[in-house]
Structure 1
Amino acid sequence: MIDKHPTLSQWHLQQTRLILAVGGVIAYPTEAVWGLGCDPWNSGAVNRLLELKDRPAHKGLILVAASVAQIEFLLAPLENSLRARAIECWPGPVTCLLPDLNRQIPSNVRGDHDSVAVRVSDHSLVQQLCETAGRPLVSTSCNPAGRQPARHSWQVYRYFGEQLDKVIPGRLGGQKKPSQILDVATGRWLR
């Protein structure tokens, strides 16, 4: 049996860590589509990613994490019921809108919202990337605004060519649709 999500080599992980540390933007396979990512606390990297996508900053971006522990700082201020509602969705293809009560996420990631979109991924490659970075990463679909998200690496290169600092090798997970979105404050499913 072939492992659909093989472990990245130490070389790939080390290179990715260095690229993210200096404000690079990467592309990588996620559960359903290719994603663009960067360090959410590096405003230059986030602004560059938004420019590449031609995405307005007011819309906000998703954060992806390797584990609940990586986003504990966002969960800790929440009421126990909201915290539990989010945790029961993870790991998996569910993005939760978490109230950012202490404004811990930069405004160019959060957008014009009081909450931040967060997913704890069950895709092993995404987990490896977040663990290597030592923090959650920005995760947004790999496509210019108005275009279909990339589902193949050749589409990543067609859209962005040499504008990216690294394209991480790997395969998509088994999801056919983008992640569901749950507003944990209201319990409403938005997608």
Structure 2
Amino acid sequence: MGRVTAIDIDQAAAVLRAGGLVALPTETVYGLGANAEDAAAVSRIFQVKGRPASHPLIVHIAGAEQLDAWVKNVPEAARLLAEHFWPGPLTLVLRRGARVPMEATGGLETVAVRVPDHPLALALLEAFGGGITAPSANRFGSVSPTTADDVRAELGDAVDFVLDGGRCEVGVESTIVDVTGDTPAILRPGGVAREDLEAVLGHPLAVPVTSGVRVPGQHPSHYAPRARVVLVEPQKVIAEAEIAVGLGHRVGVFLPAAFAGAPVKAHAVLEVPVSMAAHARGLYASLRELDQKGCDVIVASLPTEEGLGLAIANRLRRAAGPRTTV
């Protein structure tokens, strides 16, 4: 990580004002940012990522006090969640305000908004003085970047400025909660655990399989490495890897913590941390590492879907999803 100065922040803000794209660190993953009110700049995000125009973006703002400037009809549940979890890895889906162009919402009258918990992201938002649309800074559907080097390797000079804030602390994207209906619902699990949200709201939260509200990360194949991801039960990981090796594949393995140290016939073996926070923090880096080592098959298992395990399982399922042309 290079030392970021106030001059760097001012330069990044100037790039945004001029309609350019800035890669910025957040606590979750690196985002590809544009002026949220500049429809042409927002459209350029879709071009650089190869992202379908129907897939909405998240608008990042500097604080909960700015919420009413970007959305309308804010329910009490949204204010309560913002009070407890912002800045942080929580995104709220609300009714779009007039400042948000339709290009940023995928043509919807709803918009996803959050306040990132990273000092450089917050400094940039303050210096810029507006909202920043920022999906993950990678090609659409591929593994999200958790370092500035990941961004540079994947997007190169398509990004006008890169703020290097080191490795992201959370490592998976924000939890997305729809608060436009009568009952809040989790549309994408992420860095804020379902249990913590329920504790604040005082009631269970639904996690619908499908939703009428489109949000980031819902495509069947997402967060995917080049290698094919195969998911099996934890006790079958070693045997599945050996079968794939026998078929001639270069196999990477996410070895469950319960089997740490066990011999595995594979090209590369990465042991899964016991801590779900550590697992989430390193998930995307591990997928990238196995790609870089030339693996064409990755064998993994799903964690228990509690706490951050719910988000990790979601990402692994998407990574293993069917890969169709969008």
TM-score normalised by structure 1 residue count: 0.88
* Residue aligned with 1:145, SS: coil
Distance 1:122 1:171, change over 3 A: same
User: In the alignment, which of 95, 103, 106 is matched to residue 99 of structure 1?
Assistant: 95
Distance 2:127 2:33 in 1: 13
Secondary structure of the residue aligned to 1:96 is strand
1:24 maps to which residue?
A: 20
1:69 corresponds in structure 2 to 65
Q: In the alignment, which residue of structure 1 is the partner of 2:128?
A: 133
1:121 lines up with 2:116 in the alignment: yes
Partners of 2:33 and 2:134 within 8 A in 1: yes
Between structure 1 and structure 2, the one with the greater Rg is 2
| 1:51 maps to 2:54 | no
- Alignment partners' CA distance in 1, 2:166 and 2:185: 31
Task: Mark the runs of 5 or more structure 1 residues left unpaired by the alignment.
Answer: none
Take 2:89 and 2:110, find their aligned partners in 1: how far apart are those partners?
A: 19
The alpha-carbon deviation at position 152 of structure 1 amounts to: 2.2
Instruction: Please report how far the alpha carbon of residue 113 of structure 1 lies from its aligned counterpart in structure 2 after TM superposition.
Output: 2.0
2:135 counterpart SS class: strand
Q: Give the drift of 1:169.
A: 1.7
- Identical pairs, percent: 32
Structure 1 counterpart of 2:148, from 139, 153, 159: 153
Among 34, 38, 52, the residue aligned to 2:30? 34
Corresponding residue of 2:185: 188
Q: How does 1:80-99 map to 2 (within 5 A)?
A: 80-99=76-95
1:26 and 1:126 map into 2 onto residues whose CA distance is 11
Query: Within 1, Cα distance between the matches of 2:167 and 2:28?
Result: 6
1 or 2 for the larger relative contact order (CA 8 Å, sep ≥6)?
Answer: 1
Across the two proteins, how many residue pairs are aligned to each other? 186
Q: CA RMSD in A?
A: 2.1
Rounded to whole Å, the distance in 2 between the matches of 1:167 and 1:79 is 36
Which SS does the other structure have where 1:175 is aligned?
A: coil
Unaligned runs of 5+ in 2: 189-326
Q: Give the superposition deviation at 1:122.
A: 1.8
Q: Secondary structure at the match of 1:189?
A: strand
TM-score by length of 2: 0.53
C-alpha distance in structure 1 between counterparts of 2:135 and 2:175, whole Å: 14
Aligned counterpart for 1:112 among listed residues 107, 111, 115: 107
Asked if structure 2 preserves the Cα contact closer than 8 Å seen for 1:85 and 1:184, the reply is no
Residues in 1 aligned to 2:167 and 2:133: alpha-carbon distance in whole angstroms = 17
- Pick from 133, 139, 142: which aligns with 1:144? 139
Moved beyond 6 Å, runs of 4+: none
